[in-house]
């Protein structure tokens, strides 16, 4: 065991073998950051409610060059078959963190390149010194999509798909994606993830929205129940720009959707909405840090959780209003529906305000299904199981209505309906 391995403990030790073989100054610097901090535990405030202990249960290997191609094709077909409108959309497909040309249909109207073709550079947004998961990504990244939409171009809709295909050996993959919209550009991006087997998916995405540009970004996470999915997104929005996002979490044993967003110039807008439907022993974490760094900007965040069994949901939302950011309009709301006495929600909304002319608010509600509504429906002949399903679907559907892009909204509804059907069969 070399010197690096000796310094690794806890969840970080699961990657010791791979980190020992890392070369290159940027990657070595990232390892140095990891050795200084380790992966976060519950003593770190931002990870107080989410334990990375499941990472310690196994050693994660690099994905092999060969994978079960039939399994990957089946996963992709299942994702595309759920809604007619997505079947013909341009798509960029990664399997175990590596671009697969044969499964992809490259988009037009934008410049597309890949991380594997570039030399590694550390962006100021996603800094290894600030975030250990970004450091791990920087040390082990192999590939990722780099999308660039030129000034004034409407690039339409496209899919960015990640498939995890693991056998008996646990693997990890760490894609690095970049999305840049120049002034007045527009893009509707639907990010999908699914998989089978034991793996760790640790993507980092860097987003830059230019002056008056608009990015509608919907993320659907349906990873397998042996998977761990921890995604980090960094967003910069210029004046009059719009980043409108929604994250729907359905899969994975442990998941985290973390967004760091900064509104850099007046009249920028940010929407970071989401929903989770979790059961059994799933843990799902939605965390955001939204910084208002200019005046007259708007941010909105609404998150809904439906939790059953021993599932646990986490919502942490921080809005930071800098002194220069007068006339800020910020809003956060987290709502949870607990279907079991053993389910748990941990919510920590925060406001940190240094300006004096602002309108900011946050709130949280937690409850069970309404007994009066259940009684009303059952008294009219609706079976209890169906009545419960109707109420749960209505609760989540209100969140899905926040998805701005109609095709993405319809697709998420279709996938949620399939998820409900699978849950009822398993019950």
Asked whether the predicted pLDDT for residue 220 surpasses 80, the reply is: yes
Nearest of 213, 231, 218, 222 to residue 148 by alpha carbon = 213
pTM of the model: 0.94
Cβ atoms of 63 and 21 within 8 Å: the answer is: no
Let me know if 138 is exposed, middle or buried by CB neighbors in 10 A (0-12, 13-18, 19+): buried
According to the model, what pLDDT value does residue 4 have?
57
pLDDT digits (tens, 9 = 90+) for 142-152: 999 999 999 99
- pLDDT bracket for residue 347 (50, 70, 90): very high
Nearest of 306, 326, 324, 302 to residue 244 by alpha carbon = 302
- pLDDT bracket for residue 190 (50, 70, 90): very high
Cβ atoms of 246 and 403 within 8 Å: the answer is: yes
pLDDT digits (tens, 9 = 90+) for 164-187: 999 999 999 999 999 999 999 999
Residue with tokens 């990891």: 34
According to the model, what pLDDT value does residue 25 have?
87
According to the model, what pLDDT value does residue 2 have?
44
According to the model, what pLDDT value does residue 385 have?
86
């Amino acid at each position: 065991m070399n010197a690096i391995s000796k310094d690794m403990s806890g969840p970080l030790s699961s990657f010791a073998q791979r980190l020992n073989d890392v070369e290159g100054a940027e990657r070595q610097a990232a390892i140095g950051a990891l050795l200084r901090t380790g992966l976060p535990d519950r003593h770190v405030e931002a990870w107080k409610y989410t334990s990375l202990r499941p990472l310690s249960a196994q050693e994660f290997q690099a994905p092999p060059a060969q994978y079960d191609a039939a399994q990957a094709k089946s996963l992709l077909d299942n994702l595309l078959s759920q809604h007619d409108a997505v079947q013909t959309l341009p798509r960029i497909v990664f399997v175990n963190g590596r671009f697969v040309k044969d499964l992809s249909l490259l988009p037009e109207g934008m410049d597309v390149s890949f991380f594997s073709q570039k030399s590694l550079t550390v962006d100021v947004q996603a800094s290894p010194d600030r975030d250990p998961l970004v450091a791990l990504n920087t040390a082990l990244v192999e590939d990722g999509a780099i999308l660039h939409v030129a000034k004034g171009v409407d690039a339409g809709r496209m899919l960015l798909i990640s498939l995890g295909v693991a056998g008996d050996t646990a693997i990890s993959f760490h894609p690095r994606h970049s999305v840049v919209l120049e002034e007045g550009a527009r893009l509707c991006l639907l990010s999908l993830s699914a998989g089978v087997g034991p793996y760790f998916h640790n993507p980092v995405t860097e987003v830059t929205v230019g002056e008056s540009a608009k990015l509608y970004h919907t993320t659907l996470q349906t990873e397998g129940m042996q998977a761990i999915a921890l995604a980090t997104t960094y967003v910069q929005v210029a004046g009059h720009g719009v980043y409108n996002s929604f994250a729907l979490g359905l899969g994975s044993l442990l998941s985290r959707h973390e967004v760091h967003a900064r509104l850099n110039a007046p009249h920028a807008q940010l929407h970071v909405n989401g929903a989770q439907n979790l059961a059994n022993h799933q843990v799902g974490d939605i965390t955001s840090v939204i910084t208002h760094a200019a005046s007259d900007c708007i941010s909105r965040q609404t998150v809904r959780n439906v939790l059953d069994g021993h599932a646990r949901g986490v919502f942490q939302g921080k809005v930071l209003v800098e002194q220069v950011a007068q006339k800020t309009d910020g809003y956060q709301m987290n709502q949870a529906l607990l279907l079991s006495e053993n389910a748990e929600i941990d919510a920590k909304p925060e406001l940190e305000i240094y300006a004096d002319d602002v309108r900011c608010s946050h709130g949280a509600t937690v409850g069970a299904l309404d007994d009066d509504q259940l009684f009303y429906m059952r008294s009219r002949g609706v079976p209890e199981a169906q009545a419960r399903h109707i109420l749960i679907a209505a609760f989540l559907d209100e969140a899905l209505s926040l998805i701005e892009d109609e095709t993405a909204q319809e697709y998420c509804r279709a996938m949620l309906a399939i998820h409900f059907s699978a849950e009822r069969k398993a019950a």
